[in-house]
Structure 1
Amino acid sequence: MERVICHGDLWSANLLWRENGAGDVHLAAMIDFQTANMGCPAGDLVRLFSTCLSGKERQRHWEELVEEFYGYLKEEVGNSRMPYTLEQLKESYKQFIPLGSFLVVTMIQPMYDTACKNPNEEQKKKIVEDINEKMECLLDDIIFYYERNLKLKREKQSKKECGISDCKF
């Protein structure tokens, strides 16, 4: 998969939105490019989906969101060659999600701290429930995709040790 320019810290606080007169909301700007790099776009997508969506929404819709992103990219690229396939992007998402989710988990404690300062007990309870749901889904995905990726790595290594690409056991 070809490396492309990536934001490096793509989450809701680095996206600025503008509402037009008709009430439609459009992305006005992306900010804070100090971690921009040549890398894999799956890192940006994992961080964006993990921070902006509930855990269950992310788990249910990540694939269609990746497909939608790929469609937008294809439109922008036009007649130029795409730097990677949709399948490569989906696989890189699956490969990156354990690390990307872990990085988001480390940002959860400040969310709890902020929620606990809320004087409205009903709001506080709802916020903590939302944070817990996000945390549980992130941890589930860390374990699930880590085990999946480790299995694929071991299978690939076994085939390599066999010396043939279609080694069957």
Structure 2
Amino acid sequence: MSTQAPHAVLIGPPGAGKSTVGALLADRLGTGFRDTDDLIVQAQGRSISDIFVDDGEAAFRVIERETVLAALQEGGGVLALGGGAVLDADVQAALSGHRVVFLDVSIADASKRVGFDGSRPLLAVNPRASWTRMMKARRPVYEAVGSHRVDTAGRTPAEVVDDVLAELDPS
């Protein structure tokens, strides 16, 4: 177990670029990258969509909370959280004191990035309306939990990484 906190924890909605930016950021920092959605898929041996369908959202959120708390405890590297992870009060409390970067994005850019396909269970029915409703509900949490905010709209992943680095080390 590492005693070092993650260099950065990335949060935001589907399509914000957490996985892409996280991997590039970790590379630039010379450290490891972990995505809690990937950790869940590996541990469960099935997709997140399958977990939602087979076990329901509540069961998924329990798995997600446990995965996020363990990843934060393990520390080090760059960590990207699933879009809904920050809705959990235990996760919010655990993020206190961490360098949490809210990757903000518009619906236009999010739709280009994720295509609003069936692999995103919360966006399966009427994806644009679902994303807009989800973002309206989650934005206050993202803003409250994030110690930094970087807008990803219309920008390349490398440009976003530059801004994240500037936010984390403004000297």
Shared topology, TM-score over 0.5? Answer: no
Which structure has more relative contact order (CA 8 Å, sep 6+)? It is 2
TM-score, normalised relative to structure 1? 0.31
Task: Find the structure with the greater CA-based Rg.
Answer: 1
TM-score, normalised relative to structure 2? 0.31
More helix as a share of residues: 1
